Amino acid sequence: MVPKKILIVEDEEDVQELIQYNLRKNGFLCESALDGKTALTKADTYKPDLVLLDLMLPRIDGLQVCRSLKSSSTLSKIPVIILTAKGTESDIVAGLEAGADDYITKPFSPQVLLARIKAVLRRAEAPPPGENATIRIHNIEIDPGRHRTFVNGKEVELTSTEFKMLHFLAARPGWVFTRYQIVDAVHGPDYPVTDRSVDVQIVGLRKKLGKAGDLIETVRGVGYRFREED
């Protein structure tokens, strides 16, 4: 198997060296950058399989680096994990809305970081389901072509919004989405809906799914995700 390439964007050299040591020990190839401008140049030349990105960087801050990567025609598919000391609710939401695939706060466990990197790489490599492809995950079956949902083989009646929410989350298990990202996916941008209304709709969806409703997990202060299969 070809080793995966990781670009580590971190301006604290001791932290950078710790990350490199642990990743190389586990078979990854690593390159590093000490500031945001260098990070964008190296991402373009090195073509990493994943970027580990601090937020508080010289020259160009991490959020702008993330936005630049995700808006690039050649680099947008590269997964980004933000690794930072900024851990407030607003920081996490801003990072995810900038396009980050995961968000880890410092101090961090090297073992947890490694596990999260592997999970994000797995998701990136999984082919996205076709728009009308049936999704089968855990004990749920979602058929977008016929607009039908089954739990343990029994059909569950969902509203159009509930169905779209479930389909969006279940098609991307393990991914964390803010309420605004869910609204954009279900209704399109600039749709006039509040955070609270998203929570109410999720509560209603969970209730209709019964015990399977626990598969829709709340990520405190951020939003929601659909549980990955083991």
Query: pLDDT tens-digit profile of 94-149?
Result: 898 888 988 999 999 999 999 989 988 988 886 665 667 899 999 999 999 889 99
Q: Which residue from 42, 52, 45, 44 is spatially nearest to 6, judged by alpha carbons?
A: 52
β-bridge pairing 50-53 and 5-9: parallel
Residues 142 and 146: their CA atoms lie apart, in Å, by 9
* Average of per-residue pLDDT across 222-228: 91
N- to C-terminal Cα separation, the chain: 22
Tell me the C-alpha to C-alpha distance, in Å, between residue 51 and each of 102, 120, 149, 211: 11, 11, 36, 36
Mean of pLDDT over the chain: 90
For residues 11, 13, 16, 22, the Cα torsion angle rounded to the nearest 10 degrees is -170
Edge-first strand listing for the sheet containing 154-156? 135-137, 140-143, 148-151, 154-156
The pLDDT score that the predictor gives to residue 129 is 59
* Average of per-residue pLDDT across 4-24: 96
The pLDDT score that the predictor gives to residue 194 is 66
More confident residue, 192 or 70: 70
Q: How far is C-alpha 124 from the chain's CA centre?
A: 10
- Domains in the chain with CATH codes: 5-125 (3.40.50.2300), 135-226 (1.10.10.10)
Are 86 and 44 in contact, with CB atoms under 8 Å apart? Answer: no
The pLDDT score that the predictor gives to residue 193 is 64
Residues 133 and 120: their CA atoms lie apart, in Å, by 22
Helix boundaries (H) for 72-159:
89-97, 110-125
pLDDT band (50, 70, 90) for residue 65: very high
Q: What is the pLDDT of residues 164-200, one digit of tens each?
A: 999 999 998 988 888 888 888 887 766 666 667 889 9
The pLDDT score that the predictor gives to residue 133 is 86
The pLDDT score that the predictor gives to residue 189 is 67
The pLDDT score that the predictor gives to residue 222 is 84
For 142, phi then psi, to 5°, come to: -120, 120
pTM higher than the cut 0.75: no
More confident residue, 128 or 162: 162
pLDDT band (50, 70, 90) for residue 59: very high
The tokens describing 105, both together, are 């706060």
pLDDT band (50, 70, 90) for residue 75: very high
